[in-house]
Structure 1
Amino acid sequence: MLKYLGCLDEAQLKTLDDNSKIDVLKEHNLIIFSESKVIEASINTGLSRLLFKNKFKGITNKYSYSKDVASDYLSFLLQHYSCFIDGEVFQYKRDFDLKTNLLEKKKAKEFALSDFIRIFEMIVDVRFISLEKDVHGEMRVGNRFKLLDKEKNNKYIDRLRHQKDNVLQYLIGDTDFFDVDFFNTNGWLQEIIDFEIGSQILIYLNDKFQFESVEYNSENKKAILIHEKFKGKFESLEQLIFIENQIENRENVDRAFIISLFYFFKRKIKLKMPSTKLFTQIINDFFELNIGLVKDPSSETEAHLKRTEKLKNEWENFNSRMSKI
């Protein structure tokens, strides 16, 4: 189920200027601002040119959509243009069966492996593939399905975060905007469709011949894995999905934010949480962070209070969206 399709009122947006539209996107927690530093002046603090210091003026008028929104938008595109995908995948399956149905199993597997490698290298930029040692100590390409998942997240979802006008059409629910002409005139979309076609063919070949072990793949998979591994330590899976989205959608995650996140659930809305030690371990292990032990903030600082209030608003919005799914 798509979370964000038609979540904004088109009639309301038409009456607003650009800055007011950005305010609406911000109110709905759909975008993330990034601060860009602009050199305002150079200050000489000594004789050496090494002691010149730049004075920066921070501006926050640049924004991109959250990873959650971009991921949802990607799901929409794949559903909306599924006829292209399904047709190509069906054609491949039919041709493959015609070419291999009279071959011995070993020969058919060799033919399939050749296709498996060729198609993988067509949809993944092999220049950036890291190698790892197998059980025999030999260097080889890592699990291809892990790499596909990484490519999808790092390349396609990240790219969609910056498509401001196109995503806005999705958010107001204008599905007619995404017609055949839109597909034909956008190379990036054709690349995404090719990636999905290739991915589905790889899955088909792997199901038949088991070239690679396939790990559990799902949206919010970190939340699901934590929920399964630490049963009874958290109030609910929805709580963990919120935590995952908060961490994954932030540009910079520091210890102060994690502390506010923990105590928002523990004290502000009084939901079940693990110990501070276990929570710190979970955050570091599953999100590849390196924060110190989450400790009780010594005082209710203004920054902590602001973060807590923002978390409260986003939690309420999150629960509202989840209830509609």
Structure 2
Amino acid sequence: MKYYGILDPEEINKIEDLTIGDIENVLHEKDIYHNVFSQETFEKLLKVNFTPDFEEIEIKTQFVPPIDLINEFNDFIYNTYKHKFIKSKSQYFTDFNETFYGYEYFDLRKVALEEFNEIYKSLNILQVSMVAESISVNGISHTHSTGKLFKLHTYHHQVKKKLATTENLTSYLTGDSSYYDATFFSESVETQDAMYIELMAQILVEINDKYQFEEDLYYSKKTSEAFKYKDFDTIFKNLKSYRFTNSTLVNYKNLKRSHIESLYQVLLEFDLITDNKKNFIDFIKDQYKFKLTKIATFIPKENLQNDKRVGALRQRWLNFDVPKSNLDLFFDF
């Protein structure tokens, strides 16, 4: 744990008439908290859209915990109190399996979708959907809105932020785990809410994973891949091309320069990357720790082994059917 016990308790105890603001100042001085626009200032900036009126706005800032601290603290809280909830999750799926035992898969999937929607609705996740468009293979514009897992993930993060208050975090940062006892739980509405939402999220994610109502790019292992793409969106034209490249390269037991050269040829052929060898070489060296100085280009029949690899990779790309998700849509822009 990166942040647990990172702060000397004396840094807090030596302050007379201690306030939350005092603690936040110390946390900022120790580079634990970040200094950001206050919510009030941020909303004003959005209204003026950084026009000349910007100079007339009184800028207010606030100290806040970074995202990795928020997530780490929530993991700690979950592991501390999960014994209170884990049986509820097990019982839910036991009851579900007993009730619908013997159902055909598609009937079971229909029931599971009803269960999913009922639980999701009970959380009262009220958010404005983001909308994007894509063009089908027939040239027709399709309109897409954010899926429920995207909204759940966003809502889930807001709940985590509410739990990670300075008051709740201080004992964690000073390494005092005894503070988080049964009394803390019973008196902390934020903790109870966070644990309940965590339980509901786990159930929804598991149901979706079993019956695949939508592709999960928010709770599954694909999440990190999707966000890594943002670091290389000047090289790859979309998320799918990045996935294809990564999937292809990691499957080679003994990666060779010839594999990379054939792959690069196919990526260019299908207009999946920008035509910049240097950037692609830097990407390979950085992500796969492969020493590469140049990428050779071959014309057809000049190198038969390359032709074979290119043919296989073409077919692999054509069969690389990754369902389009909300995250793909917004990362494609």
User: Quick one: distance in 1 between partners of 2:86 and 2:97?
Assistant: 16
5+ unaligned residues in a row in structure 1: which ranges? Answer: 39-53, 238-284, 291-325
Answering whether residue 274 of structure 2 is matched by residue 224 of structure 1, we say: no
Displacement of 1:204 in angstroms is: 2.0
Displacement of 1:235 in angstroms is: 7.8
5+ unaligned residues in a row in structure 2: which ranges? Answer: 41-54, 233-241, 247-279, 288-327
User: Quick one: distance in 1 between partners of 2:111 and 2:329?
Assistant: 38
Native 8 Å contact 2:163 2:194 kept in 1: no
Partner residue, 1:156: 159
Partner residue, 1:144: 148
Native 8 Å contact 2:71 2:160 kept in 1: yes
Partner residue, 1:9: 8
Q: For residues 204-228 of structure 1, what are the alpha-carbon distances to aligned partners after superposition, in whole Å with 9 as ceiling and x for unaligned?
A: 2223222111125578666633377
Answering whether residue 206 of structure 2 is matched by residue 204 of structure 1, we say: yes
Partner residue, 2:86: 86
User: Quick one: distance in 1 between partners of 2:152 and 2:84?
Assistant: 20
Q: Which has the larger radius of gyration?
A: 2
Partner residue, 1:68: 68
Instruction: Find the partner of 2:183 among 181, 184, 189.
Output: 181
- Matched AA of 1:151: Y
Native 8 Å contact 2:132 2:329 kept in 1: no
SS in 2 for 1:33: strand
User: Quick one: distance in 1 between partners of 2:129 and 2:8?
Assistant: 43
User: Where do residues 37-56 of structure 1 align in structure 2 (5 Å cutoff)?
Assistant: none
Displacement of 1:193 in angstroms is: 1.4
Partner residue, 1:194: 196
**TM-score between the two structures when normalised by the length of structure 2:** 0.55
**TM-score between the two structures when normalised by the length of structure 1:** 0.56
Q: CA RMSD in A?
A: 4.1
Q: For residues 136-176 of structure 1, what are the alpha-carbon distances to aligned partners after superposition, in whole Å with 9 as ceiling and x for unaligned?
A: 989886322222222223x1243345x11111111112112
The percentage of aligned residue pairs carrying the same residue is 21
Displacement of 1:103 in angstroms is: 2.4
Displacement of 1:231 in angstroms is: 7.1
Native 8 Å contact 1:222 1:286 kept in 2: no
Q: For residues 94-115 of structure 1, what are the alpha-carbon distances to aligned partners after superposition, in whole Å with 9 as ceiling and x for unaligned?
A: 1111111132333222211110
Partner residue, 1:111: 111
Partner residue, 2:316: none
Partner residue, 1:28: 30
Native 8 Å contact 1:183 1:189 kept in 2: yes
User: Where do residues 260-299 of structure 1 align in structure 2 (5 Å cutoff)?
Assistant: none
Q: For residues 291-314 of structure 1, what are the alpha-carbon distances to aligned partners after superposition, in whole Å with 9 as ceiling and x for unaligned?
A: xxxxxxxxxxxxxxxxxxxxxxxx
User: Quick one: distance in 2 between partners of 1:203 and 1:55?
Assistant: 46
Native 8 Å contact 2:5 2:176 kept in 1: yes
Which protein is richer in strand relative to its size? 1
